[in-house]
Structure 1
Amino acid sequence: MRRLLSALLVPLALAAATTAVHAQALDRILSAKKIVIAVQNDVTPYSLLDANNQLDGLDIEVGRQIAKDLGVDVEFVVVTGANRIPALVTNQADLTIATLTLTPQRAAVVSLSTPYTAVPHVVVGPKDKTITSWDDMKDIKIGVPRGSFQDQYISLYVGGDNIQRFEDDATTFQALASGQVEATAFGITVANSVLEKNPELNLEVKFQAAMTYPTIGTRHADMDLRHWVDTWIFYHKGDGFLQSLHKKWLKIDMPDLPAY
């Protein structure tokens, strides 16, 4: 009987210990009265610096509303595209809200929420360059932000040594503007903003490359926080908040968003 009780109690104790560890994230944030969120500042209209050099954009408003709904202050930590996941893994942030597109590879490293937005990605290049398909891109120089969703799908569909990787969207665009590369890919809203602001570069959208589903990242261990974020997304899909952000920043109705 003693052995039987021991066999039953040990797994229960381990389960209780695991639950205690997983329950720490929200308690820690609420006790500290602050949530730390990793964001970018160069992915218009998701993240940008306004006329007063302050953070703004759809992702920034999402982060501020999350803090408001938790009843805590928010601290934004600015990261590059390549550092969005390391910021979580190294405990520099509680959440990453930085157009972190859903992929199986990322989900193996950090926990990804249900999508809070969806945006088509498009290939952008010079008007005088014929680029209508992936085949046309196999013999031209292509720039991508290192470790980004663009890096993944362009590497998959094009491959080869003609892909050049840069630190972020801004340096990738500068490479395109200077002629260092001949094509890149952006979310449609970023692409439209780039084309509108730089007509002298004679760039255009070439074709749709992929549909992206940005998510909010948490650490795997922070299961309670991930569940809360999913609840937050579900709630604000229903009350119109996320729809209002799509109309304000993306100039589109909120697309149908998958849930899982």
Structure 2
Amino acid sequence: MIRINRRILAQGALALALAATGFAAAADTLKDIQARKKLLVAIDLSVPPFGMTDAAMQPQGSDVDVARALAKDMGVEMEIVQVSGPNRIPFLMTNKADIVISSFSVTPERAKVVLFSAPYSVNQLVVGAPKGVAIAKMDDLVGKRIAVVRGNLQDLELTKSAPKGATLVRYEDDATANTALIAGQVDAIATPSTTVQTLASRNPAKNLEIKFVVKVQPLAIGMRKSEVELAKWINGWVEKNAANGELNKIYSKWMGLQLPDMKKLADEARAIAL
């Protein structure tokens, strides 16, 4: 258990990524991908419905569908590089993956080391807990233990805004944080709204619900800063598939909702990344 320290932000993964940038030499990854005929995509398969596995242990989810569609249009195979929240950036920076499509929120901290595409989706970060837990707003977290994934958006946001007396319990990945909530080891969890909905449907006896929204963030595809040509191709692909409805089709299939105005979302993402 780790209590909130407002002087230290949980940015271990980001610090590692900054250190790793020295090893990411300028290259034309787009040509490399086309030459090898394979796209290596970093995806966290423990964050349903963005990424998960089915009964046959096959990957599925909205991010998986986006990655498959992108690779198909690029004319290459798609290979998933499994990651957790904290190691998405290190895997990208050390060339273990070509791109990240993994419920990857655009933040100013990440934009220092990652080149983000135009947004392809949206993430709504919430606090979820059983119905019997009295939480309706941020101040109600006083005296509560809240599960977060170390270094992820929920960790950074709650480290900044949770009241004194709230305790953030940091886990190394989403699966462990989710298990802690179901097992009653914590009072609440800060996570994407879709995760709360999935946990609620899979564990009806727990009576889980969304208590309040912490932040709404655009999701984008992450690339290395040097990948100008790859970024041009991916941004063109995102723009085309936002306009023709394909990205909304994938989003609504898994979320049961429609994507918001993607042009407005792109403006918000640019402002965040500045």
TM-score by length of 1: 0.88
Amino acid at match of 2:261: D
Aligned to 2:140, what secondary structure does the other structure show?
Answer: helix
- Asked whether the 8 Å contact 2:148–2:191 carries over to 1, the reply is no
Report how far residue 134 of structure 1 moved. 1.0
Q: 1:171 aligns with which of 160, 165, 176?
A: 176
What does 1:80-95 correspond to in 2, within 5 Å? 80-95=84-99
Deviation of residue 51 (structure 1)? 2.0
Report sequence identity in percent: 38
The answer for the alignment partner of 1:253 in structure 2 is 258
Is this contact kept in 1: 2:100–2:223, CA < 8 A? yes
Consecutive unaligned residues of structure 2, counting only runs of 5 or more, are 1-24
> Counterparts in 2 of 1:189-204, with a 5 A limit?
189-204=194-209
Say whether 1:119 aligns with 2:123. yes
1:219 is the counterpart of 2:224: yes
Is 1:42 aligned to residue 46 of structure 2? yes
Q: Superposition pairs for residues 97-246 of structure 1, below 5 Å?
A: 97-158=101-162, 162-246=167-251
Runs of 4+ in 1 over 3 A off after TM superposition: none
Between 1:152-161 and 1:118-127, the stretch displaced more is 152-161
Secondary structure of the corresponding residue to residue 213 of structure 1: strand
Alpha-carbon contact 1:150-1:186 (below 8 Å) kept = yes
**Deviation digits for residues 79-100 of structure 1, max 9, x if unmatched?**
0111111110111000010001
In 2, the alpha carbon distance for the partners of 1:138 and 1:102 equals 28
CA drift at 1:221 = 0.9
SS of the residue aligned with 1:81?
Answer: coil
Q: Which aligned pairs between 1:23-42 and structure 2 lie closer than 5 A? A: 24-42=28-46
Tell whether the 8 Å contact from 2:49 to 2:62 is kept in structure 1 after alignment.
yes
User: What's the secondary structure of 1:124's corresponding residue?
Assistant: strand
TM-score, structure 2 as length reference? 0.84
Deviation at 1:159, TM superposition (A): 6.0
**RMSD of aligned Cα (Å):** 1.5
> Cα offset for 1:255?
1.3
Structure 1 letter corresponding to 2:161: Y
Aligned-partner SS, 1:99? coil
| Residues 141, 163 of structure 2: 8 Å contact kept | no
In structure 2, what is the equivalent of residue 77 of structure 1?
81
Q: Distance in 2 between matches of 1:86 and 1:226?
A: 19
Q: Give the whole-Å Cα distance in 2 for the aligned partners of 1:141 and 1:90.
A: 35
Partner of 1:18: none
Question: What's the secondary structure of 1:153's corresponding residue?
Answer: helix
CA contact (8 A) 2:88 2:100 kept: yes
Equivalent residue letter for 2:247: L
Helix, strand or coil: the match of 1:101? Answer: coil
Name the residue aligned to 1:62: 66
2:178 counterpart letter in structure 1: F
Q: Distance in 1 between matches of 2:118 and 2:150?
A: 24
Cα 1:159–1:166 change in 2 (3 A) is farther
Aligned-pair CA distance for 1:203? 2.1
**What is the CA-CA distance between 1:124 and the residue it aligns to?**
0.6
Paired residues in the alignment total: 240
Larger radius of gyration: 1
Deviates more, 1:73-82 or 1:152-161: 152-161
- Structure 1 gap segments, 5+ residues each: 1-20
Q: Report SS of the residue matched to 2:86.
A: helix
